[in-house]
A and B are shown apart, each in its own frame.
Chain A
Amino acid sequence: MSHKKQNQVIDPVVLLTLGILLVTIAIALGIVQSRSNAAGASSNPGTMSQIMMAFVTGLTTGGLSCLAVQGGLLASSLAHQIEQDYIEQAAQRKKPRGKKIESPPRPGAAFPILLFLIAKVVAYTLLGALLGLLGSYLTLSPLTRAILMILIGVFMLGNALRMFNVHPIFRYFSIEPPKFITRYIRRTAKGTDTFTPLFLGALTVFIPCGVTQAMMAAALGTGSLAMGAALMFAFTLGTSPVFFIVAYLTTELGSRLEKFFMRFVAAVVLILGLVTVNSGLNLMGSPLAFANLTRGLFPSASSSTSANSPRAANVPAGELVLYVENGGYFPQTLKAVANQEVTLNLVTDQTYSCARDFVIPALSYYELLPDTGTIRVSIPAQDKGTQLFFTCSMGMYTGMIIFE
């Protein structure tokens, strides 16, 4: 009976069509935008122009960038639903012979993805409204974001271990919503697990990607509740088609593995959990982060620059140059003289990736670099042997300065 009710959820094909429709609308908006740019509207963008720009930014760069950071939460949400589908199918197969076995059609992954995205859009719209209203009060420091990322990573690892049935203790990593909420959900959604994707979708507000942060800064700049909300709504809506299509196709491919599916999903969540924890460690500037550990163990000559290297030939003494590119930081390892102040020149040239959201955790330095230009950072004298780690605000791109 409950299967019938679950099957009343929106058809995945319809949802996929909606996703494609959103892409089409976005492309159309992009064309309109480029025309208005050509007409010189971009020099003094109006309200609609700003909102359209936010939507197109979300669609083009924000979607993939956010997917890299928040995909883990979506996977956790999907894992929950997939796990449930699998169990129900297995329970049906176990039924004794003689009875006609009704193979329940798979409720589909589209529903939790949709819930996740709706919660995400709502959460970011509210955040945009708050940012517009309250200014910079809500900006999270890199350290706070790092701690949140580690906590979320640990949550994902715990869930993966729970799915692997490693130990009963890992059951506590599964959030049991309060009874009044479950009752409400049950009576409205008839047993479909709606809470988890909704909750996780709303949680993404705490782990914005670099592009999202740029958009949050723009929402701050509007100084208006309605405009801040509209900007973040348009941007998050723009990221949704990429999120939806990638997540949906991934899930559908996964369902064909059936027999090993539960373990497959658990393994994916495990890997994403490790990646998230590692990103958090990067953002904290921890030497225990994978990149920092391997960089120390296997120093690559090609990725380092010292004051004597050819690339640094024109750099004045006491200065370092770090090229902030779309693919990361070059060189990844810089060498500086110990016990004297150093100036680090951060050079961007049409850099739009999260690499320009630059963080030196040990110095509590955080700066959103211009897409093109040079920013000078004064680094106080460091002891010999000190390793100063730097990273993007997502913990994706990393590097370090060695003082010797």
Chain B
Amino acid sequence: MIKKTFKVPDMSCTNCAMKLESLEDTLEGVREINASYHKLQMTVEYDETRLTEEQIIAAVKKKGYQAIPA
């Protein structure tokens, strides 16, 4: 398990953070996601053998946001 932080500059409300955290339910290999609208960032704890950084960025993009590795 590793923890990575991404900047998400286009979050515009707390509901955006909730939407990003909902990837916990759909993205295979994710243990926990903590997203913060205040800090415009999200921290993802995931199993690197089952999920890559690129896959996370793509999943975030699907939600309508841009994730930039911090």
Contact = CB atoms under 8 A, between A and B. Distances in A.
A179 interface: yes
Nearest to A171: B38
Interface centre among B13, B22, B36, B40 (most CB of A within 10 A): B13
A182 B37 CA distance: 13
B69 interface: no
B64 to A, nearest CB: 4
B3 to A, nearest CB: 15
A contact patch SS? helix
Contacts of B21: 179, 182-183, 186
A294 interface: no
* Interchain residue pairs A-B with the least CB separation, the first 6: A91-B64, A193-B15, A84-B15, A182-B18, A176-B14, A171-B38
Given A171-B37, A171-B38, A174-B37, A87 B22 contact: no
A174 B38 CA distance: 8
A84 B15 CA distance: 7
Contacts of B4: none
12 contacts: A80-B13, A83-B13, A84-B15, A88-B64, A94-B64, A172-B38, A174-B13, A179-B21, A179-B34, A182-B18, A193-B14, A193-B15
A196 B22 CA distance: 18
Contacts of B16: 87
A291 B36 CA distance: 41
Interface bin, chain A:
20 to 34
Interface residues of B, number: 19
B19 interface: yes
Given A171-B38, A174-B13, A176-B38, 19 more contacts: A2-B63, A80-B15, A83-B12, A83-B13, A84-B15, A87-B12, A87-B13, A171-B40, A172-B38, A174-B14, A176-B14, A176-B17, A176-B37, A179-B34, A182-B17, A183-B24, A186-B22, A191-B19, A196-B14
A271 B53 CA distance: 44
Contacts of A247: none
B41 to A, nearest CB: 12
A177 interface: yes
Nearest to A165: B12
Interface centre among A2, A177, A196 (most CB of B within 10 A): A2
A185 interface: yes
A171 B16 CA distance: 13
A175 interface: yes
A91 B66 CA distance: 11
Nearest to A174: B14
Nearest to B34: A179
A80 B12 CA distance: 10
Given A191-B15, A193-B15, A176 B36 contact: yes
Interface in A63-91: 80, 83-84, 87-88, 91
Contacts of A190: 22
Given A88-B64, A91-B64, A175 B22 contact: no
Nearest to B65: A91
B11 to A, nearest CB: 9
B64 A185 contact: no
B14 to A, nearest CB: 5
Nearest to A1: B26
Interface in A364-378: none
A83 B22 CA distance: 19
Contact of A191 (B13, B18, B38, B40): B18
A216 B32 CA distance: 46
A84 B37 CA distance: 13
Contacts of B34: 179
Contact of A2 (B17, B19, B36): B19
B18 A175 contact: no
Interface centre among B14, B15, B38 (most CB of A within 10 A): B15
Contacts of A87: 12-13, 16, 64
A186 B15 CA distance: 10
A176 B36 CA distance: 8
Contact of A177 (B14, B19, B25): B14
B45 to A, nearest CB: 13
Contacts of A94: 64
A84 B22 contact: no
A397 to B, nearest CB: 36
